[in-house]
């Protein structure tokens, strides 16, 4: 049994160990050696020095002549010159638009953006206002606030964190409001003890303001203590004229109890505004998909990731936007993205940021060098290109239209790259701040998480994982290993994304995830 990952590939992957002279692929093709499970088999003649493709991308150059049926591995496949593809100036071909555009049911906002959910947000500027934000959310639920606003999904206090937190959710109020998803306090650790300028401050500002303007919020309450570095007034200046945003400062309000009482009143006002919204047809071009992988396994790069890449291509062909991130995890395959960049500006921005990551890692005694280990090679990986392509496969085949810093607003459609660490919650937080109103998360080991206020779809890389964790997984990509074409699985994921965008709850939403996964990238000195 073998699998071809892309029509342009020169190889197929053995899904089980194959003996010499075993038939595979096209008629009369047979293996010329014993092939271990997960390893590559050539499907055509490849001359020495010529590129070898997997995922439709170059993974190296043939060290010696290769013929159909050969085992393709370290003995006959080597690295390509890292600059060869990156500096290639071949014309980038954009994907053709679809002939029959699809739509979804979303919440149309005055900003022109479209939400996939209709939450109220409580966004804190500092750790010191986190508990009060939670108290307001709980009191609003006990007060019966959402019972009179059936079109509002719930109240989401957004507080910043870099680690573990606590969940506090009162049953009394929510038990009488079956249409409410929940009130979700999220713990925080930053907003003060930092300098008022520089990369750390700017990154946090982009994150908080990005959440405040997010279309999945029908109303937002900003809460600060009053004396912190990250002042509410500065966030408001960043937002401009935002009719859905209100402010509350604990020290000005007269302390905790007075602030909670006023906060509940404000949420009633915001709920009245948000409650007037209803779902209406919207074009797929209004969707921005954040793509992530976490807890990956040996199948992620040949099932879930490339299937998501095909769904991403469908999103782009409909005029939508897909965000690829986790910069350290494209190391070694960056030239494949550089080669797909639409212009020199995008290429330069991505290349410069990769150099920044090299310096950033070195300063902290780390390295981005993750050449395949003996265990990786035993599993069939030959070059660093091939290893990193497992992550890059999520991007599909669309041209790279733009590069954005962490949390920077996405201002164009198509496939884009947003810089972020490889740490999944932190990366998704940045994507949401940049405008993602959907998240697709591939996993091979079974990551469990959610990303309020945005629904997150979990894609299992194998049927074993899907069956083992049915309550957490939304889509079984393991069917690709059982013969389902990747194109069909990609179309299934795309259809599922549109259903979720229209209101279908994901497994993580049903389980109540999302109240500890707001993790801004904490940079700079803590002083």
Q: How far apart are CA 268 and CA 175, in angstroms?
A: 19
In the predicted model, is pLDDT for residue 184 greater than 50? no
Residues 341-347 have a mean pLDDT of 96
In the predicted model, is pLDDT for residue 425 greater than 50? yes
Q: What's residue 514's pLDDT?
A: 86
Question: Which residues have C-beta within 8 Å of that of residue 228, sequence separation ≥ 6?
Answer: 125, 126, 128, 191, 192
Least confident of 380-394, 412-426, 513-527: 380-394
Q: What's residue 157's pLDDT?
A: 67
Q: Cβ(411)–Cβ(469) under 8 Å?
A: no
Q: How far apart are CA 66 and CA 500, in angstroms?
A: 46
Q: Cβ(14)–Cβ(41) under 8 Å?
A: yes
Per-domain residue ranges of the chain: 1-81, 119-276, 283-511
Percentage, residues of the chain above pLDDT 70? 87
Model confidence at 170, pLDDT cuts 50, 70, 90, reads very low
In the predicted model, is pLDDT for residue 183 greater than 70? no
- Phi and psi at residue 192, in whole multiples of 5°? -145, 175
Nearest CA to 392 out of 325, 303, 476 is that of: 325
DSSP 393: G
pLDDT for 471-483, tens place per residue? Answer: 999 999 999 988 8
Q: Cβ(304)–Cβ(459) under 8 Å?
A: yes
Q: What's residue 26's pLDDT?
A: 77
Q: How far apart are CA 307 and CA 82, in angstroms?
A: 26
Q: What's residue 182's pLDDT?
A: 37
pLDDT for 86-101, tens place per residue? Answer: 445 556 889 999 999 9
Model confidence at 386, pLDDT cuts 50, 70, 90, reads confident
Q: What's residue 171's pLDDT?
A: 41
In the predicted model, is pLDDT for residue 372 greater than 80? no
Query: Per DSSP, what are the bridge partners of residue 52?
Result: 60
pTM for this prediction: 0.86
Question: What is the side-by-side strand order in the sheet with 51-54?
Answer: 51-54, 57-62, 77-78
For every residue of 177-194, DSSP letters joined together read -TT--EE-------SSSB
Identify the top-confidence range among 78-92, 170-184, 499-513: 499-513
Nearest CA to 310 out of 299, 297, 322 is that of: 322
Model confidence at 186, pLDDT cuts 50, 70, 90, reads low
Fold of 1-81: 2.30.130
Level-2 CATH architecture, domain 119-276: 3-Layer(aba) Sandwich (3.40)
Nearest CA to 329 out of 425, 422, 395 is that of: 422
Residues 255-278 have a mean pLDDT of 89
Comparing 299 with 215, the larger pLDDT belongs to: 215
Long-range contacts of 142-145 (CB under 8 A, 24+ apart): 142/170, 142/172, 142/173, 143/173, 143/264, 144/173, 144/176, 144/177, 145/173, 145/264, 145/267, 145/268, 145/271
Q: From start to end of 30-140, where are the E strands?
A: 40-42, 51-54, 57-62, 71-72, 77-78, 103-108, 114-115, 119-124
Q: Which residue is it, tokens 């750390």?
A: 200
- Label residue 240 exposed, middle or buried (CB < 10 Å: 0-12, 13-18, 19+): exposed
Comparing 223 with 383, the larger pLDDT belongs to: 223
């Amino acid at each position: 049994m073998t699998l071809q990952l892309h029509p342009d590939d020169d190889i197929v992957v053995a899904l089980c160990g194959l003996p010499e002279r075993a038939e595979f692929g096209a008629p009369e093709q047979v293996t010329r050696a014993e092939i271990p499970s997960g390893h590559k088999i050539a499907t055509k003649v490849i001359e020495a020095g010529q590129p070898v493709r997997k995922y439709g991308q170059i993974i190296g150059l043939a060290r010696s002549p290769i013929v159909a049926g050969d085992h393709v591995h370290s003995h006959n496949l080597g690295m390509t010159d890292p600059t060869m593809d990156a500096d290639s100036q071949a014309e980038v071909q954009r994907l053709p638009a679809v002939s029959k555009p699809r739509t979804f049911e979303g919440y149309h906002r005055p900003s022109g953006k479209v939400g996939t959910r209709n939450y109220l947000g409580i966004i804190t500027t500092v750790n010191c206002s986190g508990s009060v934000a939670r108290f307001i959310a709980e009191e609003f639920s006990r007060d019966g606030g959402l019972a009179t606003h059936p079109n509002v999904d719930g109240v989401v206090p957004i507080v910043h964190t870099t680690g573990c937190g606590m969940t506090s959710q009162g049953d009394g109020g929510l038990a009488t409001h079956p249409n409410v998803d929940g009130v979700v306090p999220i713990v925080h650790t930053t907003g003060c003890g930092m300098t008022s300028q520089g990369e750390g401050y700017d990154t946090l500002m982009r994150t908080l303001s990005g959440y405040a303007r997010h279309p999945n919020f029908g109303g937002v309450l900003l809460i600060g203590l009053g004396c912190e570095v990250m002042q509410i007034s500065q966030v408001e200046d960043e937002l401009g004229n935002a009719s859905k945003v209100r402010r509350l400062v604990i020290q000005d309000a007269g302390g905790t109890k007075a602030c909670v009482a006023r906060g509940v009143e404000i949420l009633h006002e915001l709920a009245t505004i948000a409650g007037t919204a209803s779902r209406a047809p919207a074009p797929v071009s209004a969707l921005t998909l954040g793509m992530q992988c976490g807890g990956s396994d040996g199948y992620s790069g040949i099932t879930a990731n490339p299937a998501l890449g095909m769904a991403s291509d469908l999103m782009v062909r409909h005029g939508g936007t897909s965000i690829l991130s986790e910069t350290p995890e494209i190391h070694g395959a960056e030239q494949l993205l550089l080669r797909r960049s639409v212009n020199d500006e995008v290429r330069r921005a991505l290349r410069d940021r990769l150099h920044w990551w090299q310096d950033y890692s070195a300063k902290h005694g780390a390295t981005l060098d993750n050449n395949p280990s003996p265990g990786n090679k035993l599993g069939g990986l030959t070059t660093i290109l091939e290893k990193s392509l497992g992550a890059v496969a999520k991007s599909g085949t669309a041209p790279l239209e733009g590069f954005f810093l962490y949390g920077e607003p996405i201002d164009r459609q198509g496939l884009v790259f947003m810089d972020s660490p490889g740490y999944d919650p932190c990366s998704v937080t940045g994507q949401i701040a940049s405008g993602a109103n959907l998240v697709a998360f591939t996993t091979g080991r079974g990551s469990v998480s959610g990303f309020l206020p945005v629904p997150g779809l979990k894609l299992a890389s194998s049927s074993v994982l899907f069956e083992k964790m049915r309550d957490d997984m939304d889509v079984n990509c393991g069917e690709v290993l059982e013969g389902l074409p990747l194109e069909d699985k990609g179309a299934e994921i795309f259809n599922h994304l549109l259903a979720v965008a229209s209101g279908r709850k994901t497994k993580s939403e049903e389980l109540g995830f999302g109240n500890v996964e707001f993790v801004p990238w904490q940079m700079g000195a803590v002083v």
